[in-house]
Every structure is written in C-alpha cells, then in structure tokens.
Amino acid sequence: MAEMICDRIKVIDSDTHVSEPETLWTDRISTKKWGDLVPHVIFDPEINEDRWVMGGKK
C-alpha cells in the first residue's frame, strides 16, 4: 500500500488548556503599586461566573 504524507508527519496536540490559580498574579505583583493592572479574578454577574480582568478589561 502506498505511504501517505500523513503517515510520516508527527501530530502534536496544540489545544492544551492551562488553568492558572486565581491568585497567580495577585500573590506576586504589588496591587499597591500596579492597582487594577494586575490580572485578577472577579465574579461577573452578566455571565454568572468568575472571569479574569486586567486594567478594567475582561
């Protein structure tokens, strides 16, 4: 049987997801100095779940 090009190519899953802990940035960056620019998690009542916010942007 003829070899196909897809038989010679290694496939790597690139759809891996990472879930950072909510305090990843707030534990490491001074909110006193950087304020709302520090990425942090808030509860968003519009979607009824937590979401990441940075500089007022969702």
* CB atoms near residue 22 (< 10 Å): 14
Whether the model pTM is above 0.75: no
Residue 24, domain member (yes or no): yes
What domain range is 35 assigned to? 20-58
Residue 10, domain member (yes or no): no
CA atoms of 34 and 39, how far apart (whole Å) = 10
**pLDDT of residue 27 exceeding 70:** yes
Q: Say if residues 37 and 25 touch (Cβ distance below 8 Å).
A: no
Split into its structural domains, the chain has a count of 1
Residue 55, domain member (yes or no): yes
Residue 1, domain member (yes or no): no
Residue 43, domain member (yes or no): yes
Q: What is the mean pLDDT of residues 19-27?
A: 93
Residue 4, domain member (yes or no): no
Which residues are CB-neighbours of 31 under 8 A, at least 6 positions away? Answer: 38, 40
pLDDT of residue 2: 64
